[in-house]
């Protein structure tokens, strides 16, 4: 690690209130694949991406959320707990928690991802949060992981259970349209804008052959989520009239 990378890691450890016994773990957790690839092209062979840590972090996060729900929602049936857990562990929720702890400021990104707004992209933030969770879990165990992050998951679990906030827009929209209209939303790619390294996708969301909303994103998945979110806002406005 160079001096700038070391400073970033120290700042991040201070921000989450956990000092790693093995700082290399959190360094790897913060390294996006674009950064790892870029550094290897410059001859740095020891810079790994956080992809393997993401795999473990996904399971570690599921564990602490499931334990929290089992303990704090004693009257909730399995189906309700599963629905809340899916929402809290969704990409949208993980990305929001990453923003809550300002994770984007500490990412190591390649130039292309930096230019295209990777520091605030849901997919990158969510994946990195999973990697950070894995790094804490490996370094300090499940109790340190809960100490650092559980309060964030718990807050959103409570808000989701009370209907105050929605994550996983596509799933929520699908549930609403099935219940109210007996129809599933349809997502259609209608445009691609910009050069190949900064391409934006535009998706049209239709319901019963009627255009409800358009969404944009740096991937088709992001564009669909954006369209679903806008459709939910529009439908909510119609229901509230």
Is 168 noted as a catalytic residue in this protein?
A: no
Q: Cα–Cα distance between 198 and 115 in angstroms, integer?
A: 8
Which residue is associated with the tokens 């991802």? 113
C-alpha distances (whole Å) from 115 to each of 28, 109, 129 are 21, 10, 21
Query: Using CA atoms, how far apart are residues 207 and 78, in angstroms rounded to an integer?
Result: 31
Q: How many CA atoms lie within 13 A of 200 on its CB side?
A: 11
* Annotated catalytic residue within 130, 139, 168, 226: 130
**Burial, 48: exposed, middle or buried (Cβ in 10 Å; 0-12, 13-18, 19+)?**
middle
Tell me whether residue 58 is one of the annotated catalytic residues: yes
Spot the catalytic one: 38, 58, 139, 222: 58
Q: CA separation (Å) from 37 to 26, 32, 61, 109?
A: 18, 9, 27, 10
Would you name the residues annotated as active-site residues?
58, 130
């Amino acid at each position: 690690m160079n001096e700038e990378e070391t400073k970033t890691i120290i700042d991040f450890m201070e921000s989450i209130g956990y000092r790693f016994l093995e700082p290399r773990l959190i360094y790897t957790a913060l390294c996006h694949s674009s950064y790892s690839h870029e550094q290897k092209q410059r001859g740095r062979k020891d810079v790994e991406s956080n992809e393997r840590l993401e795999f473990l972090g996904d399971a570690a996060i599921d564990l602490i959320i499931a334990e929290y729900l089992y303990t704090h929602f004693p009257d909730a049936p399995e189906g309700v707990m599963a629905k809340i857990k899916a929402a809290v562990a969704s990409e949208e929720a993980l990305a929001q928690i990453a923003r809550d702890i300002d994770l984007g400021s500490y990412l190591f990104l390649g130039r292309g991802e930096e230019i295209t707004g990777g520091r605030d992209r849901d997919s990158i933030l969510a994946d990195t949060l999973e990697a950070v969770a894995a790094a804490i879990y490996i370094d300090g165990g499940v109790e340190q992981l809960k100490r650092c992050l559980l309060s964030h998951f718990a807050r959103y679990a409570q808000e989701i259970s009370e209907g105050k906030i929605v994550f996983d827009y596509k799933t929520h929209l699908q549930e609403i349209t099935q219940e109210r209209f007996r129809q599933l939303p349809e997502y259609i790619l209608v445009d691609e804008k910009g050069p190949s390294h900064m391409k934006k996708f535009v998706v049209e969301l239709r319901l019963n052959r009627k255009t409800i909303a358009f969404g944009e994103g740096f991937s088709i998945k992001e564009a669909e989520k954006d369209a679903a979110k806008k459709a939910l806002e529009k439908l909510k406005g119609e229901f509230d009239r």
